[in-house]
Structure 1
Amino acid sequence: MSNFDILRDDVKDLWDKYIRHEFVIKMKEGTLPLDSFKYYMIQDTKYVNIMLKSLLNASSKAPLNKITNILNAIFNTRDKGLEIEKEILEKLNIDDAAIENTGYNLVNYAYTRHLYYNSTIGWDYFLASWAPCMIGYSFVGKFVKGSPNEIYDLWASFYGSKDYENRVETIIDALDDIKLNDGIKNVFRNSVNFEIMFWEAALRKDPTIFK
């Protein structure tokens, strides 16, 4: 059993709620209101910016072979991901100014600070905080693929792809090299909770007040 399996099984009910959240199911069905998805895309873009900074900060503390594999898997497929993101943002009429002029909601603000904080503690803790997002989106993407909504199907075409699965495999491999303890498990659990709250904030379209 991999460390990921152990971590996921430790929070099984939360994990299932995350990857089969109402937001995700509505994407699959094509019934999610576009304004909720537009809200999500803006917040997700802001999240990714801090997430990448946190990854680069933690990378100096990581085993060289593991971080090399992860960074190669991410940056070798980043163009494809950016191409799809650009197409979605254009379809939703979201430009750079809209993203820059929108603040973080409370969940996103807390989640990104959680990631960055753990990147300062060490590679193991950052990896545990980051894994739920990266691995979970592979599950979500494969589930949402085939949505009758063109935009949601396009979004899922990347997260449900083999290229994205390659990213996930390098992260699961890196997780197997860390020693699990209660602190690591708590960090993983907190990130799964943040992922659930991220969906919920998008459904509610929470106020965005944190610049």
Structure 2
Amino acid sequence: MGYRFDDLKTACKDDWARYIEHDFVRQLGAGTLPADAFRHYLQQDYLFLIHFARAFALAMYKSRTLDELRQAYGELKAILDMELDLHIGYCREWGISEETLAALPEARATLAYTRYVLDTGNRGDLLDLHVAISPCLIGYGEIANWLNRQPFTVRGQDNPFAAWIAMYAGDDFQQAMGREHDWLDARLAEVTPARFSELVNVFRHATRLEIDFWQMGLDQSD
């Protein structure tokens, strides 16, 4: 019996819990997150999406089969043709113009996580890259689902962040999360214990960098 993605979470359960249940996330669910903290996060998340697209371009280069190439291309196309436009529109609703986004400097937390993902992908193989990406691609979906189970989560117009939760709890993102989960399960089933230990380290570092990204939003730090 091989490994699964859930085994990565189990191996890093404390860090994963700190990420999923971070104060930024809790305040977002409760509708109490300061608006400026959310705006700061949104702006840096725009920059993150650009590097996320670069990561899938790297995944195309790292692909060894036509199926892998098509998968990476599909994710890259979705970010460039849909997600970035949606994010720009969402930022506009929060008073952040596209011109402002284009001129943004990267916060240290943004630099740290995005460059870690790209460096991991450059040094390793396609599985290394996907494991480094997974705290974002799978984690955001799990966060939305976790928030929807919490009694403190405020829904509807009483929560200015309800649309953010709904986006990641929605069918499109949940299906993308499921596809990534299945892809990782299939590849992890074939790895040795030594290789799994390496991937646990990648996953732990990426998760901790995601925690730093939440904290950056909460602190509104550069």
Q: TM-score range by the shorter chain?
A: 0.7 to 0.9
When the two chains are superposed, the root-mean-square deviation of aligned CA atoms in Å is 2.3
* SS of residue matched to 1:104: coil
Deviations 1:14-49 (A, max 9, x none): 111101110000010000001000000000110110
Q: Is 1:169 aligned with 2:172?
A: no
Deviations 1:145-197 (A, max 9, x none): 53655541111221111111111112112212142422211111101001111
Is the alpha carbon distance of 1:202 and 1:143 closer, same or farther for their aligned partners in structure 2, counting shifts above 3 Å?
same
Amino acid at match of 1:20: E
* SS of residue matched to 2:205: helix
Q: If the length of structure 1 is used for normalisation, what is the TM-score?
A: 0.87
What's the counterpart of residue 14 of structure 2? 13
Given that 1:55 and 1:119 are in contact with CA atoms closer than 8 Å, whether structure 2 keeps it comes out as no
CA distance in 2, matches of 1:74, 1:109: 20
What's the counterpart of residue 198 of structure 2? 183
Structure 1 residue 105, shift from structure 2 partner: 1.2
Amino acid at match of 1:7: L
Amino acid at match of 2:183: A
What's the counterpart of residue 44 of structure 1? 45
Between structure 1 and structure 2, the one with the greater Rg is: 2
Give aligned-pair identity as a percent.
24
CA distance in 1, matches of 2:3, 2:30: 32
- Give the gaps of 5 or more residues in structure 2: 149-154
Amino acid at match of 2:104: T
What's the counterpart of residue 202 of structure 1? 217
Aligned counterparts, 1:102-181, within 5 A: 102-121=104-123, 122-144=125-147, 146=155, 149-176=158-185, 177-178=187-188, 179=191, 180-181=195-196
CA distance in 2, matches of 1:149, 1:194: 31
Given that 2:30 and 2:159 are in contact with CA atoms closer than 8 Å, whether structure 1 keeps it comes out as no
- Give the gaps of 5 or more residues in structure 1: none
Segment of structure 1 superposing worse, 23-32 or 142-151: 142-151
Given that 1:66 and 1:174 are in contact with CA atoms closer than 8 Å, whether structure 2 keeps it comes out as no
Q: If the length of structure 2 is used for normalisation, what is the TM-score?
A: 0.83
Amino acid at match of 2:131: A
CA distance in 1, matches of 2:131, 2:121: 10
The 4+ residue runs of structure 1 with deviation greater than 3 A are 69-84, 147-151
CA distance in 2, matches of 1:125, 1:80: 26
Amino acid at match of 1:185: V
